[in-house]
């Protein structure tokens, strides 16, 4: 889908969609439980559909009622591995969370499985898991866009780096309670994106599963074996990650009021509120995004329109492994619009300007956050912009363009 976006002011109240990160976690916990659960506030985004489809293949059942999902859990426990002869084939779409969360679960529940996906998903690194599999005697193979794993998870020690992605730790936190004995997850490097792990721990606790996080004198996660997940009634919060784009709109002098966010949430991306305030008052400086990489597109837009001030978004190497190489795609799109931005190996340098010329065609790079970044930037362009691949927002925020127009945005779809 190609859209022409005419510069206009956005104004009004907006509620961000449900948190994709929290919904993944609550749906998985409910699917592993015994009996019926309800997960309220689940969006119809492509990532959510990927997780639901994979969990159905593993044995759970789902019924949609508006934004609520009624879950008939599969009753996972230590006695259920290899209960079916056929290995599941799990299509994860473009969802890195779905893939990394479910690899250990497929091993724990079914003794393995075959995973596939679209876009750049199957190119994203899985080395922390592969190193563990080699140590534990689990076979794996990756070829022609398919990843196949086969074997049994066993209780014990699981060592893996904490600075690649917290998703690997989360995947193990879901699977290890289902083993017959206790296990330990030992980070070999400092853990980044710690708040995402807190979201996982919160979901486990809500489903009656015990796991202990590292603390002083105990540098590992301790996971009790032989546990079962409990059914429950869960509600997904609004997404602070998506709120980042509306914060960027406010920063660009659009009087938008953001509603429905939980200020006490464990979502790490609620730090966008602090960054919004900081960029509004300080001069040159660094913003460490190691714990909030998904906020880089809206932060880059804000930085591009801080006249006379330089902002460095640092510790951002993991952005190269997202739906697009986001350091490159953020740079390409903002530079085309007229921003002064340059990329380094793991950082962006942005020198603020009064406005952006626009008047060009830019691509979404099949990346939902790049498409939304371009839309917000367009509100401060001097001429209309054309955005190709605008349907990328369906991955996480299918109603984004509807909300954009409702707030006063002017878009026109180009038809073939």
Residue 102: its pLDDT value, please?
97
pLDDT value of residue 219:
84
Q: Which is nearest to 108 in space by CA: 23, 262, 223, 255? A: 223
CATH number for the domain whose boundaries are 20-235: 3.65.10.10
The domain over range 2-17+238-260+270-414 is classified in CATH as 3.30.1360.70 = no
**What pLDDT does 5 receive?**
97
Q: Is the whole-model pTM more than 0.95?
A: no
C-alpha span between 181 and 200 (Å, rounded): 21
pLDDT of residue 77: 83
294: its two tokens: 């998904």
CA distances from 63 to 34, 40, 75, 90, 235 (A): 16, 12, 17, 19, 16
CB neighbourhood size of 80 (10 A): 16
Q: Please tell me the predicted confidence (pLDDT) of residue 83.
A: 52
pLDDT confidence of residue 85 = 55
| pLDDT, position 377 | 98
From 47, 239, 294, 367, the catalytic residue = 294
Q: Please write the tens of the pLDDT for every residue from 208-258.
A: 999 998 877 678 899 999 999 999 999 999 999 999 999 999 999 999 999
Model confidence pLDDT, tens digit, residues 78-105: 776 555 557 899 999 999 999 999 999 9
Measured distance CA(149)–CA(107) in Å, rounded: 7
411 CB-near residues (< 8 Å, 6+ apart): 3, 4, 5, 6, 401, 404, 405
3-state secondary structure the chain: CEEEEECCCCCEEECCCECHHHHHHHHHHHHHCECEEEEECCCCCHHHHHHHHHHHHHCCEEEEECCEEEEECCCCCCCCCCCCCCCCEEECCCCHHHHHHHHHHHHHHHCEEEEECCCCHHHCCCHHHHHHHHHHCCEEEEECCEEEEECCCCCCEEEECCCCCHHHHHHHHHHHHHCCCCEEEEECCCCCCHHHHHHHHHHHHHCCCCEECCECCECCEEECCCCCCECCEEECCECHHHHHHHHHHHHCCCCEEECCCCCCCCCHHHHHHHHHHHHHHCCCEEEECCCCHHHHHHHHHHHHCCCCCEEEEECCHHHHHCCCCHHHHHHHHHHHHCCEEEECCCCEEEECCCCEEECCEEECCCCHHHHHHHHHHHCCEEECEEEECHHHHHHCCCCHHHHHHHCCCEEEEECC
Task: Give the phi and the psi of residue 87 in degrees, each rounded to 5.
Answer: -75, 140
What per-residue confidence (pLDDT) applies to 285?
86
| Beta-carbon count within 10 A of 13 CB | 12
* pLDDT in the model for residue 84: 53
Please list the ranges in the chain whose pLDDT falls under 50.
Answer: none
Does the active-site annotation cover 294?
yes
> How many Cβ atoms are within 10 Å of 253's Cβ, its own excluded?
11
In angstroms, rounded to a whole number, what is the distance separating the alpha carbons of residues 361 and 359? 7
Which sequence spans correspond to the domains of the chain?
2-17+238-260+270-414, 20-235
What per-residue confidence (pLDDT) applies to 410?
A: 97
pLDDT at 70: 97
């Amino acid at each position: 889908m190609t859209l022409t976006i005419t510069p206009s002011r956005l104004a009004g109240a907006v509620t961000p969609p449900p948190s994709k990160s929290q919904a993944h976690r609550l749906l998985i916990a409910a699917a592993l439980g015994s009996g019926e659960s309800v997960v309220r506030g689940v969006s119809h985004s492509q990532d959510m559909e990927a997780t639901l489809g994979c969990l159905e293949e593993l044995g759970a059942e789902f019924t949609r009622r508006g934004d609520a999902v009624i879950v008939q859990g599969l009753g996972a426990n230590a006695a259920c591995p290899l209960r079916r002869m056929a290995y599941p084939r799990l299509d994860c779409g473009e969802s890195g969370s779905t893939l990394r969360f479910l690899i250990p679960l497929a091993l724990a529940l079914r003794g393995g499985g075959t995973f596939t996906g679209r876009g750049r998903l199957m190119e994203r690194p899985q080395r922390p898991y592969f190193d563990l599999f080699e140590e534990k005697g689990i076979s794996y193979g990756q070829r022609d866009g398919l990843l196949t794993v086969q074997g049994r998870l066993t209780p014990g020690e699981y060592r893996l780096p904490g600075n690649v992605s917290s998703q690997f730790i989360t995947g193990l936190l879901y699977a290890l309670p289902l083993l017959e004995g206790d296990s330990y997850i030992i980070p070999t490097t400092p853990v980044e994106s710690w708040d995402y792990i807190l979201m996982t721990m919160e979901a486990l606790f809500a489903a009656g599963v015990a796991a202990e996080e590292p603390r002083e004198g105990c540098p590992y996660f301790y996971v009790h074996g032989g546990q079962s997940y409990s059914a429950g009634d869960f509600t997904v919060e609004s997404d602070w990650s998506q709120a980042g784009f509306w914060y960027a709109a406010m920063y660009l002098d659009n009087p938008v009021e953001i509603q429905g966010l939980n200020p006490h949430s464990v979502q790490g991306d609620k730090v966008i509120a602090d960054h919004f305030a900081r960029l509004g008052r300080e001069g040159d400086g660094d913003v460490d995004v190691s714990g909030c990489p998904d906020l880089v597109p809206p932060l880059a837009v804000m930085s591009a329109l801080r006249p006379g001030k330089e902002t460095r978004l640092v510790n951002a190497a993991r952005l190269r492994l997202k739906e697009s190489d986001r350091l490159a795609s953020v740079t390409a799109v903002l530079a085309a619009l007229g921003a002064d931005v340059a990329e380094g190996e793991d950082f962006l340098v942005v020198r603020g300007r009064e406005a952006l010329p626009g008047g060009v065609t830019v691509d979404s790079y099949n990346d939902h956050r790049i498409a939304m970044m371009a839309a917000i930037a367009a509100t401060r362009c001097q001429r209309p912009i054309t955005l190709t691949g605008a349907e990328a927002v369906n991955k996480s925020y299918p109603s984004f363009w509807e909300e954009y127009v409702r707030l006063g945005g002017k878009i026109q779809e180009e038809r073939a």
